[in-house]
Homo-oligomer: A and B are copies of this chain.
Amino acid sequence: MSEGTVLIIGAGPAGLEAARTAAQLGANVVLVEKRDRVGGTPDESNYAKLTHHFRDADEAIGELAEAATSHPHVQVLTNSQVVSVAGEAGDFRVGIQNGAGAKTVHAGAIIVATGFQHFDPGRETQYYNYYSFSDVITIADMEGMLKAHQVVRPSNGQPPERVAFIQCVGSRDRQIGNEYCSKVCCGIASKQAIEVKQQLPNSRVFIFYIDMRMYGYWENELYWPAQEQHHVNYVKGLVSEILAKDDRLLIRGEDTTMGRPMEVVMDLVVLSVGMEPSQGTRQVAEILGLEQNKYGYIQAGGPTHIDPVATSRPGIFVAGAAARPSDLDDTFATAGLAAARAVATLRQPVMA
């Protein structure tokens, strides 16, 4: 028995989980994805392993994708984008552009799962010289190297002896307008630091941070093992600039625990770039007429603060990092709640 249609925009972890859940609850699902395949950012950015449990990313996201896309009530539209919406909760008419063609989908509820993009360190923080020095990379770049088991200095193809992660690049930064914390970068850098030590046991790995935000089990599952079993060095410090020194990189800043200036030489520097709302999130918010917060994320939670997936428009819900910096558990959970709300809307368009 079908209860009507839920249209889901974005086939990353949030959209896939929402699709699986809504279909299991009896809805027809139309899953709209602008890329030519599902999987979202973990797929597009070649994630190696997931935080914090080190499960193979392809395998985990693949299982989720399989569960969602193999369901008989889930229709996947790749290479497709939402271009218009009319109607209201219980009776939306959504215009979809697919290559040269266009179609209209009737849906009772909509879930926005358009996710985030990695902060581009070239935009405002030129002083980190991401675009000048090939050995300055981002955590997204590092994922690909870890996945290929090829952690090298891009400048010469040699494995690095000294690797530094710099936290809060594009986060907690008023100058660029991203005052929020991106939540996941401390965990991801720590996971990557462990993987670097596993792949290059003789390397030395440093993480320069303001606060290590290893909340919940990340503390005992990642942060302690990183230090005790893998000898990752955590340095509370502020990095002001990265300079070339001979053929290596000089990090200049302040060691705030020691209370003194710091200058250290590294072979490879990894910028822990934060989250920003994706272009897709901004565009879809515009097209659907959804309120966004000052950072461009979709405003969620409503005035009651007891519904984290509610948007400003009844019948339209938001899952995952389109609304806020989110780890994968957050993403799966909000996707499930959004799916439940969407299916409840099909049953009863005007919610109690």
- Cα(A55)–Cα(B257), bound, Å: 37
- Cα(A55)–Cα(B63), bound, Å: 39
Q: B-facing mask of A19-52, CB < 8 A → 1, else 0?
A: 0010011100000000000000000000000100
A326 CB contacts on chain B under 8 angstroms: 216
Q: B-facing mask of A206-228, CB < 8 A → 1, else 0?
A: 00000111111111100010000
Protomer copies: 2
Q: B-facing mask of A292-310, CB < 8 A → 1, else 0?
A: 0000000001001111110
- Cα(A60)–Cα(B351), bound, Å: 17
Look across to chain B and name the residue whose beta carbon is closest to the beta carbon of A324: B216
Of A107-115, A188-196, A330-338, the stretch lying at the interface with chain B is A330-338
Give the residue among A60, A211, A306 with the most B Cβ atoms within 10 A.
Answer: A306
Q: Which of B17, B24, B333 contacts A347 (CB 8 A)?
A: B24
Look across to chain B and name the residue whose beta carbon is closest to the beta carbon of A178: B220
- Cα(A330)–Cα(B336), bound, Å: 12
Look across to chain B and name the residue whose beta carbon is closest to the beta carbon of A256: B257
- Cα(A211)–Cα(B210), bound, Å: 8
A347 contacts B220, CB within 8 Å? no
A53 CB contacts on chain B under 8 angstroms: 301, 305
A180 CB contacts on chain B under 8 angstroms: 216-217, 219-220
Near B by CB (< 8 A), chain A positions 323-352 give 324-326, 328-330, 332-341, 343-344, 347-348, 351-352
- Cα(A308)–Cα(B64), bound, Å: 13
- Cα(A330)–Cα(B324), bound, Å: 12
Does A181 belong to the interface (CB within 8 Å)?
A: yes
Does A157 belong to the interface (CB within 8 Å)?
A: no
